[in-house]
Amino acid sequence: MTLVQKASIAWAIAACLAGSAAASEPPAAAPAARADGPVAPKALSAAEAARLLSGRTGGPLRLDDVTALDAAAAAVLAKGPCDLALDRVARLPEAAATALAAHRGCLSLGALESLESQPLAEKLARQPGWGISLPRLSTITAPVAAALARHDGPLVLDGISADSFSADAARALAAGSGSLSLGGLRVLPPELAGILAAHRQAVGLDGVERLSPESAAALAAHRGTLRLGGLRTLAPAAASALAAHGGPLLLDGIVVLPLDSAVALARHRHWLSLGRLAEVDADLAGGLARHRGPLSLDGIMLLTPEVARPLARLRGPLSLGGVAAISPASARAVAAHAGPLFLPSLVSLDPDAAEWLALHPGPLSLDGLRGMSYETAMTLAGQRNGLSLGSLGMPARTGEWSLPDDCGRPAARPADRRQPLP
């Protein structure tokens, strides 16, 4: 690359930077229409429901103060032209649930604790949208589970516990075609783990705090994305069994990982994410570097040369999303990594560190950079293997490369990792 070409790229980077700094914030979206009335919780009458719908031709109607709904009020609301949000209603009488099942718009019941109406479950499964979220549902029958599982989007049932979850209901949910989040399961018996492993899409079990080797072996038969965000550590026997899992493995709650467990997990061949593992020494880094697939260590905040050096031996993509600053010595060490390298939290980069990163032989993502000197821009312009500066409006110049996403969502930073799966 000639000096003139490098200068042109550097000026382009500077121009993007100036443009991003001058860009205005997008206008805020208009809030959804809300019902008038007192903030205090209340039961909604049929007459009040009719008044709220009078003159409306569409748009969402949020009834945030309504905590109870009888059949008459439900029948009135069901005939309205609005999408309905009844996210403070914990229980619905059977007749009210049946009436709401006839509603043609979208319906949100985020506080519902009990759902026994199969027609309402079928209505929720049919409605268009991004997913079904019933995070407070504490029990579920097999017929209702089978109805909800027909929805082709994400299904969030984070209130269900193992003792209120029959094997038939688990099998019905496992037959679904969308991602499944069961964050309320605190314990995971091997039998239940084996049933859920048959699910063909992503499974989130972020409430499980301990995993036996037997349950880990059962889960290893799963072939989609598996999230176990509630684990704080993982014993070597369980890690060895879980390493056979045939899909992305998200262990973003682990804060302490024994070396033997790291070596065992390194046999896993798909994306491995350890987003809260902050204390990583050279030995642990060396054990994890044996991993052959993408590796996310977004919990590391301070990258020392002693840790960067063994991590550079990793064969697959490496994400260090928690590193906000990097020294020239650490940049030199990690630049020896041959695969795609993600440093999305770097907000600034001095020329000396940039000089080493520009020598990285694989694609390089620095999507968090908010500013840089002309000297740094000139240095980065020499990176020939794919440079992404997404925050400056410059995605990768060569090819397309990225870490796997989390069930369709952009990868979250460490503080955001424990969100519900879908």
Does residue 242 surpass a pLDDT of 70?
A: yes
Q: Which long-range contacts (CB under 8 A, 24 or more apart) does 285-289 make?
A: 285/310, 285/311, 286/310, 286/313, 287/259, 287/262, 287/263, 288/262, 288/314, 289/313, 289/314
Least confident piece of the model among 97-101, 275-279, 368-372: 368-372
**Whether the predicted pLDDT of 8 surpasses 70:** no
pLDDT of residue 46: 97
Of residues 287 and 21, more confidently modeled? 287
Q: Residue 415: pLDDT above 50? A: no
* N-terminal to C-terminal alpha carbon distance within the chain: 44
**Over 60: is that where the pLDDT of 419 sits?**
no
Q: Above pLDDT 70, what percent of the chain?
A: 83
Residue 39's pLDDT is 45
What band does 370 get if pLDDT is binned at 50, 70 and 90? confident
pLDDT category, 390, cuts 50, 70, 90? Answer: confident
pLDDT computed for residue 371 by the predictor = 83
CATH architecture entry for 278-411:
Alpha-Beta Horseshoe (3.80)
Mean pLDDT of 211-223: 98
Nearest alpha-carbon partner for 262 in 306, 230, 229, 310: 310
Q: pLDDT for 139-154, tens place per residue? A: 999 999 999 999 999 9
* pLDDT, position 418: 29
Determine the residue type at 283. Answer: D
- pLDDT score recorded for residue 297: 98
Mean pLDDT, rounded, of the chain? 86
**Digit-coded pLDDT (tens) for 177-187:** 999 999 999 99
Q: Give strand pairing partners of 296.
A: 273, 319
pLDDT of residue 28: 35
Closest CA relative to residue 202, chosen from 153, 275, 253, 148: 153
| CATH value of 138-270 in 3.80.10.10, 1.10.3720.10, 3.30.1330.10, 3.90.1150.10 | 3.80.10.10
Question: pLDDT tens digits for 95-140?
Answer: 999 999 999 999 999 999 999 999 999 999 998 877 999 999 999 9
* Structural element, H or E, at residue 296: strand 295-296
For 165, other C-beta atoms within 10 Å of its C-beta total: 21
The CA–CA distances, whole Å, from 400 to 295, 331, 363, 385, 396 equal 18, 23, 10, 11, 7
Question: pLDDT band at 6, cuts 50/70/90?
Answer: very low
Strand partners, 364: 341, 387
Name the pLDDT band for 41 (thresholds 50, 70, 90): low
Q: Say yes or no to pLDDT of 406 above 90.
A: no
Q: What is the predicted pLDDT for the residue at 35?
A: 43
Rounded-to-integer distance, Cα 304 and Cα 3, Å: 33
